[in-house]
Structure 1
Amino acid sequence: MIVGIRGKLVKATPLSAIIDVNGIFYEVNIPVTTAERLSGINSEVFLHTHAIYREDSQTLYGFATISERDFFKMLVEKVSGIGPKIALNIMSRMSVETLRCAIESGDVALLSKCQGIGKKTAERLIVELRGAFGATASQPSGAQSSPDSPLPPSKFADAVAALAALGFKLSDADKAVRNAASKLPENASTEEIVKTALRS
Structure 2
Amino acid sequence: MITSIQGLLTEATPLRAVVELNGFGYEVNIPVTTAEKLPSPGAQVKLHTLVIYREDAQTLYGFATPAERDFFRLMIETVSGVGPKLALTIMSRMSLPVLESSIRDGDVAGLSKCPGIGKKTAERLVIELRAKVGASASAA
TM interval, short-chain normalised:
over 0.9
Checking the alignment, whether the CA contact within 8 Å between 1:97 and 1:137 is kept in structure 2 is no
Secondary structure of 2:131's aligned partner: coil
Give the root-mean-square deviation of aligned CA atoms. 1.5
Q: How do residues 24-173 of structure 1 correspond to structure 2 at under 5 angstroms?
A: 24-135=24-135, 137=137
Provide Cα deviations, 1:160-187, integer angstroms capped at 9, x if missing partner. Answer: xxxxxxxxxxxxxxxxxxxxxxxxxxxx
How far does residue 137 in structure 1 lie from its aligned partner after superposition? 3.3
With normalisation by structure 2, the TM-score equals 0.95
Query: Structure 2: where are the runs of 5+ without partners?
Result: none
Q: Which has the higher contact order (CA 8 A, sep 6+)?
A: 2
Name 2:3's counterpart in structure 1: 3
Provide Cα deviations, 1:108-165, integer angstroms capped at 9, x if missing partner. Answer: 1111111111111100101111110245637xxxxx9x7xxxxxxxxxxxxxxxxxxx
With normalisation by structure 1, the TM-score equals 0.67
C-alpha separation in 2, matches of 1:137 and 1:107? 17
Checking the alignment, whether the CA contact within 8 Å between 1:111 and 1:117 is kept in structure 2 is yes
Give, as a single letter, the amino acid of the residue that structure 2 aligns with 1:71: F
Checking the alignment, whether the CA contact within 8 Å between 1:15 and 1:29 is kept in structure 2 is yes
Give, as a single letter, the amino acid of the residue that structure 2 aligns with 1:21: L
C-alpha separation in 2, matches of 1:41 and 1:6? 13
Q: Percent identity?
A: 63
Secondary structure of 1:130's aligned partner: helix
Checking the alignment, whether the CA contact within 8 Å between 2:38 and 2:45 is kept in structure 1 is yes
Matched residues, number: 140
Provide Cα deviations, 1:77-105, integer angstroms capped at 9, x if missing partner. Answer: 11000010000000000011011111111
Structure exhibiting the larger radius of gyration computed from Cα positions: 1
C-alpha separation in 2, matches of 1:22 and 1:136? 36
Give 1 or 2: higher strand fraction: 2
User: Given the superposition, is the C-alpha separation of residues 82 and 135 from structure 1 closer, same or farther in structure 2, using an over 3 Å criterion?
Assistant: closer
